[in-house]
Structure 1
Amino acid sequence: MSTTKKAFRRPAFIRGTAAKVAVGEAPAAPRPQAMANLGLRGNQFQRACLISGETYARRGHGQIIEVPVPFRQIGTADHGPHAGKPIIVREQSTIDLMGHLFGVPVAIECKSVNGARLVIETGLGLNRRVFVHEHQLRFLDTFERNAIPRLAASFLLIEFREANQVYALAPADYRTAAKGRKSIPLSEFQAGLGIRVPTMTCGVAVHWAVYVDHLVRKQGGGG
């Protein structure tokens, strides 16, 4: 059975914003007092991205959900005050948000950075902390690779809190930029790494739909 690929036409609120955003070209800086609402912690930035997705959904452009953190029961306590109660452990999470926008499958990992550098890895052994885990990058890669009809948007949303700036970055671009390095400076993003995501505009806190639109146009599906 043959299928016809529907022409993609960007909503007006995307077309107007996307025209102003290109690699290495940032939109006008938002007011600091407005951006303060994006949050001082990574989970608050994730919440802002989710609420933006819910706003897109209310406008009829798609559906975005927050991916729950998986937990697993590994046994039952056999003594002490918690005897008989299940022992629950947290498993590795995959990504933060998932859904579709303008008919395009979307998978997003949200990260927030304090300072002017994205620190890729800190500590050693049990104290080792990684900015983006390899299993998360693999999930984003697989999500995009297995998309039908070969068009999907899987990316990182990175907030530089002190600079009040947000960037969208493909997992492959993150790997390339992070290889052999301890950190990536904000200046590298400002020079063209990833796509600047407008904030506090078009009725949303983090206007990440602009990046989805960028990918659609890049793959020749724009209208």
Structure 2
Amino acid sequence: MFRDVHWITADFSIRSQLGYAIFRWWKPLTSKKITEDLSHSEPRLIIYLDTIEWHIYNVSPTYANLESLFGLEQKIVIKPEELPPKYKSDNASTKSPDEPAVEDRWIWRNLFPVIKFNVADGRILYGNYHCPTTLSVNFSYTVLLYTSKPASTPFDQFMHALTAKVDNLRVMLVPSLGYKGPVEEAPRYMGDGFVILHSNDVDIYYYYDQPGMLAFIP
């Protein structure tokens, strides 16, 4: 259990007033293959979060990669180990001897076949003081379930699946704090800003396949 946690990085910040996790250690642990459907399992890990805010104000890896691609002066310096995998060059055609096998990398799925999140009073912000407006996504309560299913193609390992049921969702543009440039007034305001979407009940289903390992063929 924790209270008043604020995590700040160069690209985003996460703040939560209250949270705790329940780990059902008494649930039997069974080893399953990486291609099996785990969506019918019971959640062993349940996470509760209250009054959480996730503010994304920068994407340094993307900017640094664009500077490198276009040969610009490197103003954003990021350590190689901090770059996401998609920005790292892979010149080796064979796997390192110390690299774990595919099954070993995803062995945690046997321990956590389903992870449940209960979030009350959440807010997601996209923007900074260089933009006239910030995109704000607010909701009163949501239940998220993360699990994995068989991949949709035989070339991939498995499928990540995230389902969410959101109550009182509101998406709007709000004025950015600290912005001093010209501002174009919105057609109308409702509350703190210009409302783009408002719904009392929203169901979200997000999924993608984990890419498989292919042999290097010159």
Choose 1 or 2 for highest CA Rg. 2
Q: Which has the higher helix share?
A: 1
Q: TM-score, normalised by structure 2?
A: 0.23
Name the TM-score, length of structure 1 as normaliser.
Answer: 0.22
